[in-house]
Chains A and B, each alone.
Chain A
Amino acid sequence: MANPDDPLGPYERWMFGPGKTFDLPGLRLDASPSLSCLAEFAAPVPHPVPAVNRLLDADGIAMRPRLPTLWDGGATQFVPLLLCPETPVAMAQHDPGRLASILDHLQGGGARHLRLNFPVRAETIDPTFPLAQPAMGPASGVDPARPLVVMAVIDHGIAFAHQALGGRLDYCWSQSAPADGSGAVLFGREFTREGIAALRAVHGDEDAIYRATGLLGGPNLPPMPLARAHSHGAHVLGTAAGDDPNLRVVAVDLPSTALWDTSGFGTDMFLLAGLHYIFDRADRIAAAHGRVALPVVVNISIGWSGGPHDGSSAIEAALEELIRLRRTRAATALVLPSGNMFQDRLSAVIEDRHFETAPDGKAQASLRWFAPPHDMTSTFAEMWLAPGKDPSGTVFSLTTPFGEETAIGPQAGHRDVVSKGKVVGQISLDRYRGQRWRVTICLAPTEPKALPDGYGAAPAGEWRIAVRRNANLSGPVALRVQRDAPHEQGKTGGRQSFLLDPGYDPFDVQGALAQVDDPDPMVRRFDGLNGLATLAVSLNVGGHVASLGTAARYSSAGTATRGVDASAPTDRSPARSGIVSAGTRTGSFVALQGTSSAAPQVALALAQAFLTVPPPPGPVADNYLGCLAGRPGIVPVPPSGQDPGGQARLGQWRITGDNPG
């Protein structure tokens, strides 16, 4: 029976167990991939980190921890790292047991919480890192008399050679590019302003540049976003970059394979490493122009539906730690999308009033969970107890559509979920980061592409999630289903599961998707904010329909304590979805729908405000939201309760979209 502080979390136990057959093959890993890891230490550790600079041995597999670029602005508790095999080790050789023992070594070195993310192809690792890079001089066109601000975008499919960037992209880290041996970055490849100009001089056009740098993929390689006419990152960067020479751009291109799993499992290390890189390069830009610490706006148009939703997920805590550290030196903003899950029935809260008394005197509440057929990826859900509550006297159960029940609790641990004699899932109870108690449910695909021995397809249909507890216990239980969107380029074949609540009516009296919550049901529209966006230091951006000024029906909202701060158009009109921005090649355009396209509009507006009046360094209670007041094309939003025209959906400030500037 695992202890509540098992170094290997439930996601990793699943992903590196049966997930090696279900989900990881889609990543097209090569012969000896490296593992990515987000480590949390009990206290801030200085850099370089002696605690992890040791060769880890586990059953003959030697994994060497390697650190990516770390910003030198101070010691942090959270550290992103790679575990690189010293000798070739195929993905198939890593199993939960071995991984737990590797992570035990890290715990012995002082790490108190570890999170493994997606593996990285060996061809992207640069063994020569780190090597000092020649300093890049000042950029032309910069007005020395005006403020200088950095716009940083972390996304996937960054078209760094797009001509509309006009030489303002100073640094781009393409995390999935084959390494070039320059020692600039630990994995992937860096493209600087001067480097891009040199590539253009040699290769002539964008297609040739991306081809030569390995960003178009090739035979028997994973498909790459820049091979297509449109990508998420090109659209977001096209919106965020603006056109002011004093707005310098830094981009981080996440490996798109890490994003194929929409549960967000894959990305933590890559995001945190990306933020360190951004801060480091922002300092270099400052130095190149004779300045000290520049205001930075970071846009990360990424999110997921799971997590504790109180800022305590490891990646939120890690980002917040680094941002607060940098705010002591210069204004540092983080802009995130609120999410597109408002109608998706992915979140529910089981309140005390939902519990009924069972014949044995216990209190019981349950909810049905629909697992769709033809879902080729694993499916995940979480239950979270309130802060300060523990599972004593409580049992959590999962029942298959055939009526087979698996229970867990009150002791922590992992259990296999069995249906018709085959293992079809896993249910775990642990204390996340030693703080909140969490149940994690992992289901096999309902139509797996392959099956590990002993496993079967999870039956499609209605599952039942139930909580039984002593009658004297109280406190809400939050239920969060992870997003499971199909990734078309990756051909993952994922399909979305969702909650079924007879009290939840998807439609309003006119037959449209309703936008207000009734007080009774467990399933909620509100309180389904992006699970990355519940940290205290972000500005969360919702989306509205430009021609109406009211919330887009999918635009997620939060709670009173942590919700939407601002909004921007994400649809041009009810009939014309999406907003238009750049495709991957200069001169191409595409409409993209979703709060991912709203966040960069707010990020740009904030950057333009910073260029006018740069905020001073220091903590900011409103995360610079007040800087949007009075800016052109931005209007205040009335409070208005759950109204789609009100602050709960649109935040305090709304970019109308009328002002193209």
Chain B
Amino acid sequence: MSVFGTMHGTHGTHGTHGTHGTHGTHGTHGTHGTGLYGDLATGALAGLQTSAEAILHAAGLDPLPPAGIEPLTPGAPANMRRWSPDVRALLLQNQVNRHVGHASDDAVSYVSLTWDGVPVATLKPPTTETLARQCDWVRHYADQRADRANEIYSQLGSFSPYFALFLGLTDGRNPRTFELLDAVLTIAGQITMLPKHLLACRRPAELDVRVAPLLATPGHGSFPSGHATQAMAIARVVEALILANPSHFGDADKRIDMCYRQAHRIAVNRTVAGVHFPMDSAAGARLGLAIGNILVRMMTGGGTVKEIAPFDPDTAPEEDFTYAHAKALREAAGGADVAVAGDPILGWLWDQAKAEFALHAPV
């Protein structure tokens, strides 16, 4: 998850509220946003006004006739095309927030992610014995910091490039696909905050001075891991996108495998960095798969997803989170069916992204 003050954090230079972020000085909604108003130097904005004042006299003073006005179709999903990407992101988030919820009890002996009130994934809190054994793993993984530092630092913000790497995406051809991946990142990240708050799990650096993390410990709970949730959700959505375009990739199975391995690696990078326990990633992977499954259903006309078996880290306190574990989660049969209604707003973005993979699109 984002870190205050760094390049890509929420309030960092490129973050949502940062200087170049969506609401920042140079962002779309900022004073000097992109596009027409963003490309001009400060003095030139005033120039637009003075030029208008100088020449609008030629357009007259008559009241505007309604006859020439062509209205949009209210509520049409196609209108999504007209909004800016960050507004679309807010709309997508809103559509998810209408259904997503959390369930717990007073003692927080469990936290469930729910969809329309029905549990889809459940986490149980760790004991201090489990925390201690998991902390040993964090120290062990520190040996790989030199190898993985570049990945760790660049994964502080959007890590879509790490999946785009295996999909051959380009900015020019796949703008909506990139937008979709980042939307999944944002949606999944937000959903983890309440479980993190309820489970209130302390971070490795607080428990063991020898962890000495590679970067600043984020300001939210350790269990579940936001990165693991986001990465697995993206991997699941990417898998669906690949499978929806069978003629596009001749080696679809390998690509899907690479994307899940990458998601697992992104999760483990947080343990290498010293800010997460392996069990945080095990928990986040389950949430991420659940969220990914739900988003895919929403985007493709609705259906059901399977409830994911509850995760209790105390059953195996000394266990690492390996790719074999992640793969087993992917392939697990799953439990009860949970209904997910299709959503035309999310469906619009999915259709746009999917269309970018068409090889023989009409001119």
**A residues bordering B, Cβ < 8 Å?**
205, 207-208, 211, 217-221, 223, 227-230, 488-489
Contact = CB atoms under 8 A, between A and B. Distances in A.
Q: Which 3 A-B pairs rank lowest in CB-CB distance, beginning with the nearest?
A: A219-B136, A229-B147, A223-B143
B324 A208 contact: yes
Contacts of A227: 143-144
B136 A208 contact: no
A221 B140 contact: yes
B323 A219 contact: no
A229 B140 CA distance: 15
A207 B323 contact: yes
A217 B141 CA distance: 10
Contact of A489 (B137, B139, B143): B143
A219 B140 contact: yes
B146 to A, nearest CB: 8
Interface string B308-322: 000000000010101
Contacts of A223: 140, 143
Contacts of B320: 218
Contacts, number: 32
A219 B139 contact: yes
B226 to A, nearest CB: 24
B170 to A, nearest CB: 24
A218 B323 contact: no
Interface string B23-55: 000000000000000000000000000000000
Given A219-B318, A220-B140, A230-B147, 4 more contacts: A217-B140, A219-B136, A223-B143, A228-B146
Contact of B322 (A208, A219, A488): A208
A223 B147 CA distance: 14
Interface in B115-168: 133, 136-137, 139-140, 143-144, 146-147
Mostly helix, strand, loop or mixed at chain A's interface? loop
A37 to B, nearest CB: 30
Chain B interface size, under 10 / 10 to 19 / 20 to 34 / 35 or more? 10 to 19
A208 B323 CA distance: 8
Most buried by B among A217, A219, A229: A219
A204 to B, nearest CB: 8
Contacts of B322: 208, 211
Contacts of A207: 323
Interface string B299-342: 00000000000000000001010111000000000000000000
A107 to B, nearest CB: 42
Given A208-B323, A208-B324, A211-B322, A228 B143 contact: yes
A218 B143 contact: no
Contacts of B144: 227-228
B102 to A, nearest CB: 32
Contacts of B133: 219
Nearest to A489: B143
B137 A219 contact: yes
A221 B320 CA distance: 14
A220 B136 contact: yes
Contact of A228 (B139, B140, B147, B324): B147
A6 B44 CA distance: 91
Nearest to A216: B140
A558 to B, nearest CB: 35
Contacts of B324: 208
B147 A218 contact: no
Nearest to B318: A219
Contacts of B143: 217, 223, 227-228, 489
Nearest to A221: B140
Contacts of A229: 147
B66 to A, nearest CB: 66
A228 to B, nearest CB: 6
Contacts of A217: 140, 143
Nearest to A588: B147
Nearest to B138: A219
A490 B247 CA distance: 50
Nearest to B322: A211
B262 to A, nearest CB: 13
10 contacts: A208-B324, A217-B143, A218-B137, A218-B140, A219-B140, A223-B140, A227-B143, A227-B144, A228-B144, A488-B146
Contacts of A219: 133, 136-137, 139-140, 318
Nearest to B133: A219
A227 B133 CA distance: 20
Nearest to A208: B324
Contacts of A220: 136, 140
B53 to A, nearest CB: 61
B265 to A, nearest CB: 10
A230 B147 CA distance: 9
Contacts of A218: 137, 140, 320
A256 B29 CA distance: 57
B158 to A, nearest CB: 24
A489 B320 CA distance: 21
Contacts of A230: 147
Contacts of A211: 322
Contacts of B136: 219-220
Nearest to A218: B140
A369 to B, nearest CB: 32
A188 B147 CA distance: 26
B274 to A, nearest CB: 14
A582 to B, nearest CB: 15
A211 B144 CA distance: 14
A287 to B, nearest CB: 38
A219 B144 CA distance: 13
A488 to B, nearest CB: 8
Most buried by A among B143, B323, B324: B143
A220 B147 CA distance: 20
Nearest to B136: A219
Contacts of B318: 219
Contacts of B139: 219
B131 to A, nearest CB: 13
A221 B136 CA distance: 10
A223 B142 CA distance: 10
Nearest to A584: B147
A211 B322 CA distance: 10
A30 to B, nearest CB: 15
A227 B143 CA distance: 8
Contacts of B137: 218-219
B129 to A, nearest CB: 14
Nearest to A225: B143
A614 B133 CA distance: 56
B169 to A, nearest CB: 21
Contacts of B146: 228, 488
B143 to A, nearest CB: 5
Contacts of A208: 322-324
Contacts of B140: 217-221, 223
A278 B143 CA distance: 31
A453 to B, nearest CB: 26
A221 B133 CA distance: 13
A227 B147 CA distance: 10
Interface string B165-179: 000000000000000
B307 to A, nearest CB: 28
Nearest to A204: B324
B155 to A, nearest CB: 17
A69 B16 CA distance: 64
A286 B291 CA distance: 58
B134 to A, nearest CB: 9
B322 to A, nearest CB: 7
Contacts of B147: 228-230
A229 B320 CA distance: 19
A343 B123 CA distance: 60
A488 B139 CA distance: 16
A207 B102 CA distance: 36
Nearest to B140: A219
B278 to A, nearest CB: 10
A205 B258 CA distance: 12
A210 B307 CA distance: 33
A223 B139 CA distance: 11
